[in-house]
Amino acid sequence: MKPARPIYLDHAATTPTDPRVVEAMLPYFAEIYGNPSSAHSFGRKAEGAIETARERLAQLLNCSRTEIVFTSCGTESDNMALRGVAMQALSMGKRAHIFTTQAEHHAVSHTAEQLARLNLARLTWLTPEADGSLTPQTLETALSGLTPEEVGLVSVMYANNEIGTIQPIAALAEVAHAHGALFHTDSVQAAGQLSLDVQALGVDMLALSAHKFYGPKGVGLLYMRRGVSLFSAQTGGSQENSHRAGTHNVPLIVGMARALELAYEDLPVRVANYTRLRDRLIDGVLDSVEGAQLTGAEKGRRLPNHASFAFKGIEANALLMHLDLSGIAASSGSACNTGNPKPSDVLLSVGLAPDLALGSLRLTVGRQTTDDDISYVLTTLPTAVERLRAVRLAHHL
Ligand code: PLP
């Protein structure tokens, strides 16, 4: 029977804003509304809120408050890192050489591609393994192509949004540094599930987006290790140490800090619960859907909340529609690509055949997901796949 409320299993696309986060943000819309750049008491109050948020985020990331730049989202943070390094290199009469994979989010891969197309940077694609992971050896070999005239930049995501694979960031960053290259990681999916200690990770830049960890949409940050020089992506006022001009969005920044604080409060318990629910999904789907394939890494090396599959003989959009009508909100991979029947770049980059890649499904659990939700999915999904396969077969007869 269809559940009383729709079951949301698309937490990799976005999460609901935690009511405690909303509560923290509320005073900064109409009560404490000053412009943080203003010199009077209204401005100072707003500036105080931003600096408290920055201090808290710096503690959680284990960095200095001066190493945090507030942005409008994860996409902007990624763009700032790649474009900032490329433009900085050009301003010094050099050229950036970007090393990245086609399994990255388009915020990175399309940015790298565009910079290369416009001849603003050189680009080397790194080939991930079949489970989506990038080995330090692959990076080591590629970096031997870095010339002394180039500024090297490696960009590898912490955890993949479509297939959940967690990358060995600390080991990769070490290889990059041994070759004198900078290391950026898109940590948008990792936040709220994995440690974001930038010292332990050894990264130079790290991108976050609040709406993936029960914070508001439209706010993110870029951690920039002291000493990293980025050409300013956005010029204007001197906000964010002139790295990112534009009046601060005070409520959203306050909300992001509160959301990350809350994410750390119950991290081990929540991750254990996610892992248990995810494993029920993975085992249940592989057992009950004929020919189902798990995409991405095995359980121990994938995001705790992330299950992703490929089904032969299925068109993902038809399956998503079927599930939606049955009260299950899922995704075929990246939310940005929903409605686009092209096989995903990520799935192709890990070697999936295009027809199999078209039949992808991503289920990501969250704080509100229950065992009953998983049981319902496990009874609904196999029937849906069977029906769609039968329809397709009938069309081919
Ligand atoms: N990077 C990854 C890995 C993502 O999953 C997303 C969003 O789906 C982004 C970047 C973009 O973040 P935002 O939605 O904040 O622009």
* Digit-coded pLDDT (tens) for 262-284: 999 999 999 999 999 999 999 99
Burial class (CB in 10 A: 0-12, 13-18, 19+), 77: buried
Q: Which residue from 167, 185, 188, 217 has its CB within 8 A of the most atoms of ligand 1, so it is best to mutate?
A: 188
Mean predicted confidence (pLDDT) in 298-306: 97
Domain with CATH 3.90.1150.10 in the chain: 7-16+266-396
The pLDDT of residue 397 is 67
Which of these CATH numbers, 3.30.2420.10, 3.10.129.10, 3.90.1150.10, 3.40.50.300, describes 7-16+266-396?
3.90.1150.10
Q: Nearest C-alpha to atom 12 of ligand 1 is from which residue?
A: 74
Q: What is the mean pLDDT of the chain?
A: 96
**209 alpha carbon – ligand 1 mean position (Å):** 7
Average pLDDT of span 209-224:
98
pLDDT tens readout for residues 99-113: 999 999 999 999 999
Predicted pLDDT at 336: 54
From-to residues of CATH 3.40.640.10 in the chain = 19-264
List own/partner pairs for 29-38 with CB under 8 A and 24 or more apart. 29/251, 32/250, 35/247, 36/239, 36/247, 36/248, 36/250, 37/237, 37/239, 37/247, 37/248
Q: How far is the CA of 12 from the centre of ligand 1 (A)?
A: 9
Atom of ligand 1 nearest to the CA of 161: 5
Q: pLDDT-derived band of residue 134, with 50, 70 and 90 as boundaries?
A: very high
Which CATH fold would you assign to the domain 19-264?
A: Aspartate Aminotransferase; domain 2 (3.40.640)
> pLDDT for 140-194, tens place per residue?
999 999 999 999 999 999 999 999 999 999 999 999 999 999 999 999 999 999 9
Overall pTM surpassing 0.75 (yes/no):
yes
Residues designated as active site: 336
pLDDT of the residue at 372: 97
- Ligand 1 pocket by C-beta < 6 Å: which residues? 73-75, 105, 107, 157, 161, 186, 188-189, 209, 220, 335
